[in-house]
Chain A
């Protein structure tokens, strides 16, 4: 189990996150949602040990140091690499950067190709990452993250800028891996309907604090959406049985508070 205790983050003296506490169970996907600028990315980076923060990140009962977090927790930022001519295979291999030497063995290469096969990307292994579409790039980076076999995977808007098909593929693979290996996944997301369908639990962040935390059926309510997003929204079961969120109107004009 992964636990975060009293996580506080600030930039240039301004507090962004205030005393965030949460527990994450093995084999689950948690969606981190909330308005822009509410601290979702900062929380993920703080958990991964990539930015300074106060508080503790624990695996079990043991607080983890920054270097332990970098080994155990994989963090997948938003899409990058569009300008790189690194090959897809090289990008996936970088997932196990710490174990790569001057000569890369055939076994580790075969494992990297297997990671690509999960996303049917093996035919692209010699293609430059920058030559792929945004959706394909995102799948390659997900393959890279899973190639690390992390205990914890943190994803910053993994479906942003993806078409519908790629959104489903990305989230299905994450959930599959959670169920198969017991990996803990936490994803910052904007699409509440996708979050309701794939996440076991949703954490609403608002003004750097947890506004609601629980299973989608419990926390995805018009009242919470109004409180967090200042919108009137309808929440109804969709065709798949998962909740479907339809925003109706914004309650305040932008900048009106």
Chain B
């Protein structure tokens, strides 16, 4: 065993390095946000957009101000919030299930949300007073049902990672089948609407959705903060975490509900978004390690970066139009994942 001594203060180099990484990806995210606001199918002048951002009552013209403030800003902020939510949901899913392939998709929440939206569109249901909220509410409700199904099974058989993964996969297949059934039964024009929702698109974003999804994100983050060290301990295995004083089933149950809420809050308004919840945590873990105090913000930033990057790509792929972002996330995410598999250290995933 090497026994060289190290006179450096405790953890300085590693702590500094990961803070630098956090700063670097935050800066990158800042640029991506700006680029996403500047780019759009309306081909607005960059300086007009900047002027509308900085001084809405200035000389950019009402059309530019309206496009920037009513369309582009909510879309960009929604991409950021959805990405951050899915990044955090993904990293927590991988932590509590001890499974590198886990993501908000794994337990069928996204599939259930898709089914809830699809069946509402199929039957043309509308909520009284707030008809525009029908689809998001149905998606949220269906995701909650999926959450209760997985939890119910886990509650009966024991809140272990293995039981939750199995119950989640069963739930995923159930809601995917129900989604397919709804699509099979739908008339062509209704089917088009369902498919558009399932693709996931930032065009559905509004200031209201930004407010709701953003509140859910902040609420869940506040719930996670007291458990950050316990979640870090979980990475050493259930038994060792328990020996350190962590009530593992209680922690797993609590975080499971937080992940459900985060996922439902993210996908209810914009539709199914894949890959972000799987890839963002891995990228974050490779750069900043597994201390959840840094890993959670890094996963949120990477999630936001992937979503905003996908939003930019969705506008550039077909000039004058916006391709649904749900299609693009995989296109952006797959190269990241391949690079991770080819270059990453096995330990990180």
Question: A110-B10, A128-B347 known; A48 and B285 CB under 8 Å?
Answer: no
Query: Does A106 interact with chain B (Cβ within 8 Å)?
Result: yes
- Pairwise interchain contact A109-B3, C-beta atoms closer than 8 A: no
Residues of A103-152 whose CB lies within 8 A of B: 106, 109-110, 112-113, 120, 122-126, 128-131, 133, 135-136, 141
Picked from A76, A94, A126, A133, the residue with its CB within 8 Å of the CB of B14 is: A126
Query: Does B132 interact with chain A (Cβ within 8 Å)?
Result: no
Q: Which residues of A contact B348 (CB under 8 A)?
A: 85
Give the secondary structure class of B's interface: loop
User: A16-24, A67-75, A222-230, A237-245: which one contacts chain B?
Assistant: A67-75
Interface mask (B308-320 → A, CB under 8 Å = 1, otherwise 0): 0000000000000
- Pairwise interchain contact B243-A48, C-beta atoms closer than 8 A: yes
Nearest-Cβ distance from residue B222 to partner chain A, whole angstroms: 12
Q: Which residues of B contact A122 (CB under 8 A)?
A: 5-6
- Pairwise interchain contact A77-B11, C-beta atoms closer than 8 A: no
Nearest-Cβ distance from residue A119 to partner chain B, whole angstroms: 9
Nearest-Cβ distance from residue A202 to partner chain B, whole angstroms: 24
Give the secondary structure class of A's interface: helix
Nearest-Cβ distance from residue B183 to partner chain A, whole angstroms: 40
- Pairwise interchain contact A97-B229, C-beta atoms closer than 8 A: yes
Q: Which residues of A contact B229 (CB under 8 A)?
A: 94, 97, 100
Residues of B214-253 whose CB lies within 8 A of A: 225, 228-230, 232-233, 235-237, 239-240, 242-246
Nearest-Cβ distance from residue B26 to partner chain A, whole angstroms: 18
Question: A86-B290, A90-B290 known; A80 and B11 CB under 8 Å?
Answer: no
Picked from A102, A131, A166, the residue with its CB within 8 Å of the CB of B293 is: A102
- Pairwise interchain contact A135-B5, C-beta atoms closer than 8 A: no
- Pairwise interchain contact A80-B245, C-beta atoms closer than 8 A: no
- Pairwise interchain contact A71-B245, C-beta atoms closer than 8 A: yes
Q: Which residues of A contact B9 (CB under 8 A)?
A: 106, 109
Q: How far is the CA of A75 from the CA of B244 in the complex (A)?
A: 8
Picked from A86, A124, A126, A136, the residue with its CB within 8 Å of the CB of B13 is: A126
Q: Which residues of A contact B14 (CB under 8 A)?
A: 87, 89, 126
- Pairwise interchain contact A106-B347, C-beta atoms closer than 8 A: no
Question: A86-B289, A102-B228, A109-B10 known; A97 and B3 CB under 8 Å?
Answer: no
Query: Does A186 interact with chain B (Cβ within 8 Å)?
Result: no
Q: How far is the CA of A170 from the CA of B14 in the complex (A)?
A: 28
- Pairwise interchain contact A85-B347, C-beta atoms closer than 8 A: yes
Query: Does B193 interact with chain A (Cβ within 8 Å)?
Result: no
Picked from B11, B239, B347, the residue with its CB within 8 Å of the CB of A50 is: B239
Q: Which residues of B contact A110 (CB under 8 A)?
A: 10
- Pairwise interchain contact A98-B285, C-beta atoms closer than 8 A: no
Query: Does B2 interact with chain A (Cβ within 8 Å)?
Result: yes
- Pairwise interchain contact A95-B244, C-beta atoms closer than 8 A: yes
Nearest-Cβ distance from residue B69 to partner chain A, whole angstroms: 35
- Pairwise interchain contact B6-A94, C-beta atoms closer than 8 A: no
Query: Does B343 interact with chain A (Cβ within 8 Å)?
Result: no
- Pairwise interchain contact A87-B11, C-beta atoms closer than 8 A: yes
- Pairwise interchain contact A123-B2, C-beta atoms closer than 8 A: yes
- Would you mind naming 11 contact pairs between A and B with Cβ atoms under 8 Å apart? A75-B243, A84-B290, A85-B347, A87-B14, A87-B291, A89-B14, A94-B232, A122-B5, A125-B10, A125-B11, A135-B1
Which residues on B are within 8 Å of A, measured CB to CB?
Answer: 1-6, 9-11, 13-14, 225, 228-230, 232-233, 235-237, 239-240, 242-246, 285, 289-291, 293, 345, 347-348
Q: A102-B293, A109-B9 are in contact. List 10 more A-B contacts (CB 8 A).
A: A77-B240, A81-B240, A85-B290, A85-B347, A86-B289, A86-B291, A90-B291, A100-B229, A109-B11, A120-B1
Return the 4 tightest CB-CB contacts between A and B, nearest first. A109-B10, A126-B14, A75-B243, A120-B3
